[in-house]
Structure 1
Amino acid sequence: MTKFILLSTVLAVVLCFFVSPLWAEGLIPLEDFFRNPEKSGFQISPDGTRISYRASWERRLNIFVQDIGSDEAKRITSAAERDILAYFWAGNNRILYLQDSGGDENYHLYAVNADGSEVRDLTPFKDVRVTIIDRLEDIEDEVLIGMNRRDPRLFDVYRLNLASGDLTLIEENPGDIEGWLTDHDGKLRVAMRTDGVNTSLLYRDREDHPFKTLLTTNFRESVAPLFFTFDNKKLYVASNLGRDKSAIYIFDPRTAVHEELLFEHPEVDVYRLFFSRKRKLVTGTGFTTDRFRYHFFDEQRSSLQKELESRLPGYEVTVTSMNKNEDKVLLHAGSDRTQGSYYFYDTVTGEFRKLADLSPWLPEDKMAPMMPVQYTARDGLTIHGYLTLPAGSDGKNLPVVINPHGGPWARDTWGFDGEVQFLANRGLAVLQMNFRGSTGYGRTFWEASFKQWGRAMQDDITDGVKWLIEQGIADPEKVGIYGGSYGGYAVLAGLAFTPDLYACGVDYVGVSNLFTLLETIPPYWELGRQMMYEQIGHPEKEKELLKAASPVFHADRIRAPLFVAQGANDPRVKKAESDQIVEAMRKRGVDVEYMVKDNEGHGFLNEENRFDFYRAMERFHAKHLGSMAE
């Protein structure tokens, strides 16, 4: 689902219910915030001779390829119904990409030659979802995939021959495997087993040997395998076993113990580890505090980062792709005020050039800074978040949109957010908070959210509103709330459980009824059902808890205007979730604006649908919060 501002200091005081000519001059067209990027998703071929990227064709993101040094690119796909969001090089002359139909998330794997010839659906199976297990970068004509073709709840492992299209079953899921891992030779040697609440790490020395259980933990503790050591004998893992914050260890499968602590951070979890495939060594790790931070073990990789950051001061620089020889680099440089740009760097010749700006039509100097903030919840817990104020405003007595993230077991991070910048450009302050349960802050913070939907989790959001009011930032009469998925649930819960707090709400693919949410989870989430019961509540044993936390049963308390948007094909939060709350409101004679898109799923992917949604949101906020409208 997927996430600025133009107001001069002189005009910042004009936060009223009409659009003056001066304000209108400060408004950036809505479409500029939500257009498909000019170019994005740059990757380099393994041999370093060609670059690929995504750009619009027929209003859909398609894949283009061009030779390095050439200004001419060839479009190699013709997707007209859905954007292509995920793709990768499979050898030097072929690209693979994933695509679903109408937002159903049943992804098929397609292949196309780098010259645009021979487009093939490699998994042409109805109602089947494909996952990539190993791209097998050293085996040009093969890839390992997972498919729930045999049983919609389970993913078996197949070796797919890209030349012939032949599928070979490598491992049949016995019914309880939720994840697989290969070694550096592409052999399937690790599996994660779950009974719903307990997770076991399985291991084997060879692909033709049976799996053995190394250890079993409750889902609250995790030993997550990242990849093998380069001799294929041990594992790098992210683990919170016996500790609050996840850290990086070397794990010895022969003894089933954490052998060496590589890196930890006292404030946040560490999950990531980077390596050089060519040099066969671990290069560094990364973690997120207020912003994403690096820690390098390897001087060569550290020097590369310093070189790139010296060329692009003030930006967050990320290496996105390298050729096999690791001497040609593609990188992205962005910030909170720009979607950023892609660059090419040749480490041998020193050639450094810009490839493309993602959104050249958005003036960076007119965007609003995203400021890390923190406040204290009513029970003393520290809540971290991000505050974006309309550019040029004095930050006082502003109309505000509270924007809780989805998940809920995810988190907001610092960086460019098109939604936030759009709202700020319309004169609205935006507060995003990582309420309890948000990931990255350790096990205790995460567990504090269990069975707290509509309770302590919602209190954290409410306390954020009160903090804004106490700081004099928010006009208490003009506080709106907007969110998607779990954020949409938080909108409905906020309007129902704190009806005097909000002037309006926008619910985007949000949950209204916890019973029906749990009844209709996608089949491939079935292995996690018992864990969801422990995190949210059991529909049989804890009926009162779920009923008390489900906004649909408290719709009579909702007084603020409500706008609901939903994708008809959403497999995660079914359309019935939105139907229920809309029907409950309309039965009371309350008019609810309701937008349904028949060709969308969990969020609106197609550009014209995004325009429709944000245009309706703009009118809604202008009416109920006094924000600016085009």
Structure 2
Amino acid sequence: MTNTSLHLRRASALLVLAVVAPVSAQTNVSGEQAARLFGSRERIIDASLSPDGSKVAIVAPGPQQSAVVQIIDVKTGEAKPINYANGAPMTLTGCGWASVTRLVCTLYGVSNVQGGWESYSRLIGMDADGSNLLPLGVTQRVQDYVSYADGHVIDWRDGKTDQVLIARNYVPLKANVITIGSKAQGLGVDLLDTRTGNVSHVESADPIVTRYFADGQGHIRIKAQLDSLRQGYTFDGRVNYYYRVNDSREWKPFSTFSQMEDKGMTPLAVDGAANVAYALDRANGRQVLYRVALDGTLAKTVALADDAVDIDGVTTVGRHGRVIGAVMSKERREARYFDHDYETLVTKLGRALSSTPIISIIDSSADEKTHLIYAASDTNAGEYYVYDSAGKKLVPIGAVRPDLSGLALGKMQAITYKASDGTTIPAYLTLPAGNTGKGLPAIVMPHGGPASRDEWGFDWLVQFFANRGYAVIQPNYRGSTGYGQEWFQQNGFKSWKVAIGDVADAGRWLVKEGIADPKKLAIVGWSYGGYAALQSQVLAPDLFKAAVAIAPVTDLGALRAERGGFDKVGRDFIGEGPQLDEGSPARHADAFRAPVLMFHGSKDINVSVNESKLMDRQLHKAGKRSELIVYPAIDHQLRDSAVRVDMLTRTDAFLTQALK
């Protein structure tokens, strides 16, 4: 866990050209080619714009789990690799600009700690040419315990210096060690020089503080605190928020959010110029965005609400994270802008990029005259541009999946279907390109979470199956988020019968509508989706003729035990009592009738690989058909192109055989 350095090396020219020079794909491809095209990782993992708008830092995948930092000159289009992380054990996930010459990058890894897998992240500073690397975490010679995260930047400032405002984790020295060092413990805030490592302390470290909110003007105005940990080590699920009025160091109560009850106000951002916080709270069963005055009154006004769906969050812009709007998802993700200038800008960009209507401002220059734009659709994984508002120029930077250029992809359409109790369930249906959608092999693909939802947009798994000739439906079953408290039920674990029932009814709808050949109906899912794929065999064993589960939950009791005694919130989310047995597919292997294929990474910290191993053992013990593929040294997301290509290749062959 101590290997946090980047390894300076010139990346191959292929990695650079892959970002800036897409290669047209064939219109008709074999199964092997399709697996390679769709299974390969996205060519742009992360992108950020320099403070002067002249350069873009790209994080792109390398071989296996490695990642490369590249700098693209906006004016010339020249791309230069400057550094990389080899993925063993850490890989790059993103970079931001402290100044025009200095980057702050985040590394992520999973390592074995005392017999169990743990994730951790590190921050590192480097020059824009990859030199002068400096770890940005708090380090001491003999620490009492390992810090799993260095922290994160909460205000990038104006970019005129190498300093950023950063929330940092402090770890005390071991007791009884005679050495010089800090006894500070917990999360604090520092004004950090990313070149020298020099700091000015802004907020003292506190072991029960989990987050700080800056106001974009260099001040910390809100903090999140777990007061229950003052008395012990068990988190009771309540997060207490405190705020400050202008020009004061005194903390005042802001709100309390109960994770157990999903109740209370949660701040998202602070606008220092307006002296307000933006926060989410429930009203009439929906999540509403409020502006909350930070003048001592806590007066609330509605910033945005919708009768049909929850407000998801806020849209920010600029290096100080200024709030300019809010987002929600109906049939498609929508942004509502409070700032007229940005509303006009996005509208104009939408007209110019009409084939990719998902438009986001990813980053902006310090003067907010140059913007890094991301545009995508259901058939386009996304393209990055730099927009110069003064010259009204839109400069292409790179495509997320350039190898799919020229390949016909399936259109995703929002549909609804009736559950067995008459409830209308929202979903997305993708048909093979150019197909009328009758009598097809078909796949029901429930999303993970379960506290999540599917949205309209590009999905590499969906498009792979559509390319192979399958109709794919993605149900936002009850237990999904975004549709209010009543739709969420008790969540997809406690209310598994309702959630899995909705998933099964998606398959029945495909058959009823004549879209699916009933003899060629399969179910494929990842994480909770994998759980749903397996548990559907318990609830509706005759419906699906094949089941594929990627990193699935298979035993609710085991999942609850994985959360440990300190994670009261996680254990409560899963529940207890008879549903632990009734809702666990590994305890009902005898009910299975369809063949099962499972995939799992050995370093999965979300769901232990032991759950898939248990499911496989139980199925074989019951005389059922099951195959489990375990990928060594891979986490929950299977972030390795070769692994994903192998998974798609095996899945394609499995489904072809099972549904013939």
Q: TM-score, normalised by structure 2?
A: 0.83
- Residue 372 of structure 1 and its aligned partner are, at CA, apart by 0.5
Distance 1:460 1:395 in 2: 22
Q: Name the count of aligned residue pairs.
A: 593
Distance 2:630 2:189 in 1: 37
Kept after mapping to 1: 8 A contact 2:155/2:320? no
Matched, 1:92 2:106: no
Instruction: Give deviations 1:303-332, integer Å, cap 9, x for gaps.
Output: 211221221123222222211111112212
Amino acid of the structure 2 residue aligned with 1:141: Q
**2:273 corresponds to:** 231
1:439 maps to which of 466, 475, 481: 481
Match of 1:588 in 2: 622
1:574-585 matched pairs, under 5 angstroms: 574-585=608-619
Q: Deviation at 1:171?
A: 4.1
Q: Aligned-pair RMSD on alpha carbons?
A: 2.9
- CA distance in structure 2 between the partners assigned to 1:439 and 1:147 by the alignment: 31
Tell me how far apart the structure 2 counterparts of residues 178 and 449 of structure 1 sit (CA, whole Å).
Answer: 25
Return the offset for 1:594.
1.3
Shift, 1:536, TM fit: 2.4
Counterpart-to-counterpart distance in 2, 1:302 and 1:142: 29
Query: What secondary structure is seen at the aligned counterpart in 2 of 1:77?
Result: strand
CA displacement 1:231-276 (0-9 Å, x = unmatched)? 3743121221x43211221113556645211221111111323345
Secondary structure, counterpart of 2:349 in structure 1: helix
Task: Note the alpha carbon deviations across 1:347-381, whole angstroms, 9 max, x for none.
Answer: 11122232222222214561000010112223343
Change (3 A) 1:547 1:356: same
CA distance in 2, matches of 1:284, 1:610: 36
Tell me, what secondary structure is at the counterpart of 2:84?
coil
Structure 1 residue identity aligned to 2:152: I
- 2:573 matches 1:535: yes
Note the residue ranges of structure 1 that are not aligned, 5 or more in a row.
1-21
Report the CA distance between 1:416 and its aligned residue. 0.8
Report the AA paired with residue 567 of structure 1: G
Secondary structure in 1 matching 2:92: coil
Partner of 1:11: none
Give 1:571's match in structure 2, choosing from 562, 587, 605: 605
Q: Kindly state the Cα deviation for residue 545 of structure 1 after the two structures are TM-superposed.
A: 2.0
Change (3 A) 1:578 1:25: closer
Question: Which amino acid in 2 is paired with 1:596?
Answer: V
Identity %: 26
Counterpart position of 1:8: none
How do 1:456-475 and structure 2 match up within 5 A? 456-475=498-517
Cα separation, 1, equivalents of 2:58 and 2:321: 28
Match of 2:55 among 39, 50, 56: 50
Q: Tell me, yes or no, if the aligned pair for 1:187 and 1:207 is still in contact at 8 Å.
A: no
Residue type matched to 2:575 in 1? G
**Which residue of the other structure, out of 59, 67, 73, is the alignment partner of 1:67?**
73
1:38–1:516 distance in 2 versus 1, CA, 3 Å: closer
- Number of the residue aligned with 2:537: 495
Tell me if structure 1 keeps the 8 A contact 2:450–2:492. no
Whole-angstrom CA distance in 2 between matches of 1:29 and 1:55: 21
Q: Distance in 1 between matches of 2:202 and 2:364?
A: 31
CA separation of 1:57 and 1:28: change in aligned 2, threshold 3 A: closer
* Secondary structure at the counterpart of residue 286 of structure 2: coil
Of 450, 455, 458, the residue aligned with 2:497 is 455
Instruction: Report the Cα distance in structure 2 between the residues aligned to 1:281 and 1:546, rounded to whole angstroms.
Output: 45
- Equivalent-residue separation in structure 1 for 2:96 and 2:500 (angstroms): 40
Aligned to 2:334: 293
Question: How do 1:395-414 residues align onto structure 2 when only pairs under 5 Å count?
Answer: 395-414=437-456
Q: Kindly indicate whether residue 203 of structure 2 is the aligned counterpart of residue 162 of structure 1.
A: no
Q: CA deviation at 1:427?
A: 1.0
- Unmatched tracts of structure 2, length 5 or more: 1-26, 112-117, 140-144, 174-184, 227-234
Contact 2:291 2:300 in 1 (8 A): yes
Amino acid at match of 1:49: S
Partners of 2:308 and 2:299 lie apart in 1 by 21
Taking a change above 3 Å as real, the CA distance of residues 437 and 513 of structure 1, as seen in their structure-2 partners, is same
Cα separation, 1, equivalents of 2:480 and 2:172? 34
- Check whether the contact 2:110–2:120 (CA below 8 A) recurs between aligned residues: no
| Alignment CA distance shift 1:72-1:218 (3 Å) | closer
Question: Does the C-alpha gap of structure 1 residues 276 and 96 become closer, same or farther in structure 2, counting only changes over 3 Å?
Answer: closer
1:188 deviates by 3.3
Whole-Å Cα distance in 2 between the matches of residues 49 and 417 of structure 1? 31
Of the candidates 611, 615, 623, which is equivalent to residue 645 of structure 2? Answer: 611
Report the equivalent of 1:549. Answer: 583
Q: Does 1:560 align with 2:594?
A: yes
Cα distance in 1, alignment partners of residues 92 and 436 from structure 2: 42
CA–CA distance in structure 2, aligned partners of residues 280 and 142 of structure 1:
13
Query: Match of 2:57, SS?
Result: strand
Q: What does residue 162 of structure 2 align with?
A: 140
The alpha carbon displacement at 1:458 in A equals 0.8
Q: 1:532 to 1:289 in 2, by over 3 A?
A: same
**Cα offset, 1:478, TM superposition:** 1.6
Equivalent residue letter for 1:530? K
Give the Cα separation in 2 of the matches to 1:577 and 1:278. 43
Give, in angstroms, the shift of residue 573 of structure 1: 0.7
SS of corresponding position for 2:223? strand
User: Partners of 2:147 and 2:242 in 1: how far apart?
Assistant: 29
User: Partners of 1:265 and 1:212 in 2: how far apart?
Assistant: 30
**8 Å Cα contact 1:450-1:534 kept in structure 2:** no
The corresponding residue for 2:391 is: 349
Q: How does 1:69-84 map to 2 (within 5 A)?
A: 69-81=75-87, 83-84=91-92
CA–CA distance in 2 between the matches of 1:565 and 1:503?
18
